Amino acid sequence: MTVRERPAGRYGSERKPRSRRWWYWGLLGVFVAAGVVVAYVAYRNLGSTPIDAEVTSYHVVDDHTVTASFTVDRNHSNQAADCIVYALASDGVEVARAEVYVPPSETTIQLSTELRTDKRATTVEFYGCSYQVPSYLTKSMPPSG
């Protein structure tokens, strides 16, 4: 069997297949960069919280009042904080919300607040806490409750 050669003038010279190795390294670099970005965003959003607040107990006083006791622990104990606590009715609807000023404290602090509700509350939860205390909550303002 003989191998036929193509006429060089008609089809051009035969090229060697180029290596696709640069695609591999480029794609690998893109995946590594994307992984670093995803890890950073996850750490910022899902990492440890600087302020840890937990409802320790609540008491439904009547159809329009609920009291809540809670503890607040934070990584910067010398800073005041602002925590938002809310009450839910049995159907899951939010019936009250309050901001609570948390004064600086060297240890875990125990606070309580009273929420005026639209209808009977069945649970109390935290929305979150922040070191960005609004101007209407001042350091001279005592904790509510």
C-beta of residue 134 within 8 angstroms of C-beta of residue 115: no
pLDDT value, residue 143: 55
Residues 65 and 123 grouped into a single domain: yes
- pLDDT value of residue 51: 84
User: Is 126 found in the same domain as 58?
Assistant: yes
Q: Who contacts 69 (Cβ-Cβ below 8 Å, separation ≥6)?
A: 55, 56, 57, 58, 110, 111, 112
Q: Which of 116, 119, 113, 118 is nearest to 137 (CA)?
A: 113
Claim to verify: residue 99 and residue 38 sit in the same structural domain: no
For position 19, what pLDDT does the model report?
67
Do 119 and 57 share a domain, yes or no? yes
- State the residue range of the domain holding 39: 18-46
CA 109 to chain centroid: 23
Predicted local distance difference test score (pLDDT) of residue 145: 47
The b-or-e profile of 111-136 (16+ CB within 10 A means b, else e) is: bbbebebeeebeebebeebeeebeee
The rounded distance, in Å, linking the Cα atoms of 65 and 42 is 38
Residue 15's pLDDT is 65
Amino acid at 18: R
Residue 67 and residue 117 in one domain: yes
pLDDT tens for 5-22 read 766 666 666 666 666 778
Q: What is the mean pLDDT of each run of 10 residues along the chain (145 residues)?
A: 68 65 87 94 77 88 92 86 91 92 88 91 89 76 53
Q: Which residues on neighbouring strands pair with residue 72, listed in sequence order?
A: 53, 109
* Total tally of structural domains belonging to the chain: 2
Would the pTM count as exceeding 0.85? no
Residues 42 and 109 in one domain: no
Is there a single domain that holds both residue 63 and residue 34? Answer: no
- Cβ–Cβ < 8 Å for 86, 54: no
Q: Is residue 145 part of a domain?
A: no
